[in-house]
Amino acid sequence: MHDCPTCKVPLHGHELVCPSCGTKQRVKLGSSKLFGSEQAAQKPTINLMPFVAAGVIALGVAGYLLKDSWIGQLINRPPQVEDPIAKMTFLEARNIIETKITEGVAATGGKTTFKWQRAGAEVDKTSEGPVEVEAQVELKDPSERKAIIDPVKEYFEKAGITTLNVKDEKLHATWTYSVTPAPAQTQAE
């Protein structure tokens, strides 16, 4: 610090002109071995920490307020898993059921034949509407049926199958699987 030679107002050393009287000042160029030589007078630097702290606090408050908004719910929502059965047609579901049962019985060394019926009359597998299915199988062990039928039960409703009768004449056994359709879901608004 030094005083202005004209008006004796204290100056900081970086003013080129005295703010009080307007007299030009001689600014000393300092040299330091630690920081190198200064070629021009430096203005005092601004402390950025208050601005950084205010920014961090503002982001924290914004994040807290947004977590309950629709934006926060959109960000935190788990990914929606689509049901592959919902996309398939009744015919695709019937084909999957027939294929998996046939493959399961064939893996045990047996054969399978299917009859598609509606109200006791035989119908084509491609006909729309609820159907009863009769499957003639040849199993070696009655417990094998669970491993074959259980994986396809989830397709019954989509396929429109109300009853699946699995008959094994070799074992003299008949197993009946009935499906009651789920009630229609209403969307609440």
Residue 188 has pLDDT above 50, yes or no: no
Residue 7 has pLDDT above 50, yes or no: yes
Residue 36 has pLDDT above 70, yes or no: no
Q: What CATH number is given for 85-178 in this structure?
A: 3.30.70
Predicted pLDDT of residue 182: 56
Query: What is the secondary structure of 142-183 as a DSSP string?
Result: TTHHHHHHGGGGGGHHHHTEEEEEEEETTTTEEEEEE-PPPP
Write out the H or E segment, with its range, that includes residue 21: none
Sequence-ordered strand ranges (E) for 50-111: none
Predicted pLDDT of residue 185: 47
Predicted pLDDT of residue 34: 56
Residue-wise pLDDT for 81-110, tens only, equals 888 888 888 899 989 999 999 998 888 888
Looking at residues 110-116, what average pLDDT do you find? 88
Looking at residues 159-180, what average pLDDT do you find? 86
Residue-wise pLDDT for 48-85, tens only, equals 899 999 999 999 998 888 888 888 888 888 888 888 88
Residue 26 has pLDDT above 80, yes or no: no
Predicted pLDDT of residue 31: 53
What residues does each domain of the chain span? 1-38, 85-178
What are the φ/ψ torsions at residue 113 (nearest 5 degrees)?
-130, 145
